[in-house]
Chains A and B, each alone.
Chain A
Amino acid sequence: MNLRDIQRILKAEVLCGEQWLSREVKTGFGCDLMSEMLAFAGSHTLLITSLTNEHVIHTAEIMDAVGVVYVSGKQPAKEIIEKANHNNIPLLSTPFLMFECCGLLFTSGLKGCKRGNP
C-alpha cells in the first residue's frame, strides 16, 4: 500500500507532498499522544492524528514516518504545512473521524505498530 492508496481510501485532501505519494506505507499508528508515537511508531509508519501542532511534524521527522493523516477534516496552520514540506513529510486531511479512518485502513490491509517491535 502506498500513500496514493491511502488518499483514495480516505477520500483525503493532499495538503503537501504530492510528489511523495508513491511512498510505501507499512504500518499505521493512530494517536494524539506524541510520547506514544515516539515509543511505538516505526519507520514507514503513517501517523494518524487530530492534533495539528508542530510537535506532530517533529515527531514524524524523528520517527522517519512516511506521512501524516489529519482526521475529521482538520488542517494545520500554513507554517506547519511549510515545515512539513521542508522536511519532506506529506500531509493529508480526511473527512473521516479517527475510528472510521483507522477502521477503513485496517480493513484495507494496513497493519498496526507493535509494542517493542516497530
Chain B
Amino acid sequence: MNHLNEEAESKPQLKLEFEIKERDFSVAGEAASKVKKTLQQLGLMPEAVRNIAIIIYEAVMNVVIHATHGQLKVIIIPEQVTVLTEDEGIGISNVELAMKEGYSTAPLEIREMGFGAGMGLPNIKQCSHKLNVKSQVGVGTVLEAIVYLSSKDRKS
C-alpha cells in the first residue's frame, strides 16, 4: 500500500525515515522532536514546523497504539512536506467515524498516558492542508498528510 506522491519523488528532496514498533511509545515524541529540529535548521517558520511536528506525533502514536509495526517517512521538498505512515495492523473499519473528535477505540492504559482521547486524526486534519487515510481492516493503514509551504513559511 504505497501512495508516495510521485511528483514529490522526482524533485530534490530530503527524506527522513523511522521504524515504528508496536508499543514503542517513545518513538512518537522522538521522531516529532527530530523532524522539528531538522525543519528549524532548514529555516522553516515556527507555525509550519509546529504543524508538521504535531502531525508526526499524532500519526506515529496511532501506529504505536493500533498497529503491530509500521514506518514513518517525512519527505521535504521546497514546496511541501509530506508525512507518510504505513502500518500493518487491525486497520480502521470506519475512517469517517475515526475522524470525529472524541471517537476513540484506544484502551484505558493509553488514555492514562494522555493519549487515545479521540483527538489524533482530527488534530492531524487541522494541521495539514491535505489528508488522505486509506485503511483495510485486518491489513493496515496508510496515512498521508501534506503541508504546503509558501514563501512566508521560509525565513530566507
Chain A positions near chain B (C-beta within 8 angstroms):
32-36, 38-39, 43, 49, 51, 53-59, 61-64, 87
Most buried by B among A34, A55, A56, A57: A34
Q: How many residues of B contact A (CB 8 A)?
A: 23
16 more contacts with CB within 8 A, not counting A35-B115, A51-B113, A54-B29, are A35-B117, A35-B119, A39-B54, A39-B119, A39-B122, A51-B114, A53-B113, A53-B114, A54-B26, A55-B25, A55-B29, A55-B113, A58-B32, A58-B33, A59-B29, A61-B36
The reply to whether B114 and A63 form a contact with Cβ atoms under 8 Å apart is no
- A54 to B27 CA separation, bound complex (whole angstroms): 11
Shortest Cβ-Cβ A-B pairs, 9 listed = A58-B29, A35-B119, A34-B114, A62-B53, A33-B117, A38-B54, A51-B114, A39-B123, A55-B114
Check B58 for interface membership: any CB of A closer than 8 A. Answer: yes
Min C-beta distance of A28 to chain B, whole Å: 17
Instruction: Return chain A residues, CB-CB under 8 Å to B53.
Output: 62
Min C-beta distance of B82 to chain A, whole Å: 19
| B33 partner, pick from A33, A51, A56, A62, beta carbons under 8 A | A62
The reply to whether B123 and A64 form a contact with Cβ atoms under 8 Å apart is no
Min C-beta distance of A42 to chain B, whole Å: 9
- A53 to B117 CA separation, bound complex (whole angstroms): 17
- A1 to B138 CA separation, bound complex (whole angstroms): 52
The reply to whether A35 and B123 form a contact with Cβ atoms under 8 Å apart is yes
* Nearest A residue to B54, CB-CB: A38
